[in-house]
Amino acid sequence: VDKKMQKLGKEVDTKAVDPYYLGEWLYSHNVTHTVGQVVYQVFVIDCLAKNELDIGQQALMTIASVLPKITSKAIVEWSPFMYSLAERLQSMVKAKAIRVTDDLWKLAVDSILVKAVHCEVEVHRHVLQLVDVSSGQLAPHQLVAYLETMLEVSEKSRKRYRKKQAKLAQEQQSAAADTATTASAAGDGNGTSPHKVVGSPHRYVNDGVHEAYSKLVGSALKGKLNEENAPKLLEYVKQRGVS
């Protein structure tokens, strides 16, 4: 975002705008509106960075109200805002400027970020980092609730990621096999090759966040989980990824 857009973002007055029209403007696919959406997103992050929390909270309320109306295809365009918001909240948690009991946390995390982990893997990772940083303020059952909810929300996006990784692994395997065949043909005349043929791809492919979940369970939740209080989470982390 350039300086002109940042300046415009700082001049947005949420109190002077009709929430209904502002909401329609935020989820519109109009090109002009798309630029404006970026300005508004910058404005929100800027408010939080400058500790203008009342204004920032009002702006987040508007965003929370329009997110359900944004198509799954268009929501990807909001990914940079989502992980920027998660990063800003991480900084605020570390600075003790926000607690998990605050209304701002509940709005930004419960109503926006947790529901946005399906955008893309990078957003999911940033939200997990935020939850990890805040785990000291969360009771075990609260932490489990966040993790299991995110697993449910992100099920389709994680499946897409696994498929992409599986396809990539197959392409790499094919390329390695072709290289080995070529090297063998040009070997010592006995059909041997100085190059080792790569074995078959690993049976399991990670979904981009499995390792992060496993680390959280092994640290913040170590010794606190069982099949009764976290069945879905335990089942997930016991896997080595899903094929």
If you average pLDDT over every residue of the chain, what do you get? 81
Q: What is the reported pLDDT for 25?
A: 52
- pLDDT(57) > 60: yes
Q: Are 85 and 44 in contact (CB under 8 A)?
A: yes
Question: What is the model's pLDDT at position 178?
Answer: 66
Please state the length of the chain. 243
Which tens digit of pLDDT belongs to each residue from 180-232? Answer: 666 555 555 554 444 443 444 444 558 999 999 999 999 999 999 999 999 99
Grade residue 152 by pLDDT with cuts at 50, 70 and 90: very high
| Helix, strand, coil tally for the chain in percent (to 5) | 70, 0, 30
- Rounded CA-CA distance 101/54 in Å is 16
Closest CA to 112 of 49, 53, 70: 70
For residue 242, the model assigns a pLDDT of 46
How much is the pTM? 0.76
Residue 112 per-residue DSSP state:
I
Please say if the pLDDT value at position 151 is more than 70.
yes
- Rounded Cα distance, 30 and 80, in Å: 19
Residue predicted with more confidence, 238 or 133: 133
Torsion of CA 4, 10, 14, 20, to 10 degrees: 20
C-alpha span between 131 and 149 (Å, rounded):
12
The contacts of residue 107 (CB under 8 Å, 6+ apart) are 57, 60, 61, 64
CB 143 within 8 A of CB 220: yes
Q: Which among 116, 205, 214, 213 has a CA at the least distance from the CA of 161? A: 205
Bigger pLDDT: 146 vs 71 = 146
63, HSE (Cβ side, Cα atoms, 13 Å): 29
The pLDDT tens digits of the residues spanning 108-131 come to: 999 999 999 999 999 999 999 999
pLDDT by residue (tens digit) across 155-191? 999 998 888 887 887 777 777 776 766 655 555 555 4
Split at pLDDT 50, 70, 90, the class of 33 is low
Please, what is the Cα angle at 129 between 141 and 153, to 5 degrees?
A: 65
pLDDT tens, position by position, 86-101:
999 999 999 999 999 9
- 3 state SS of 216: helix
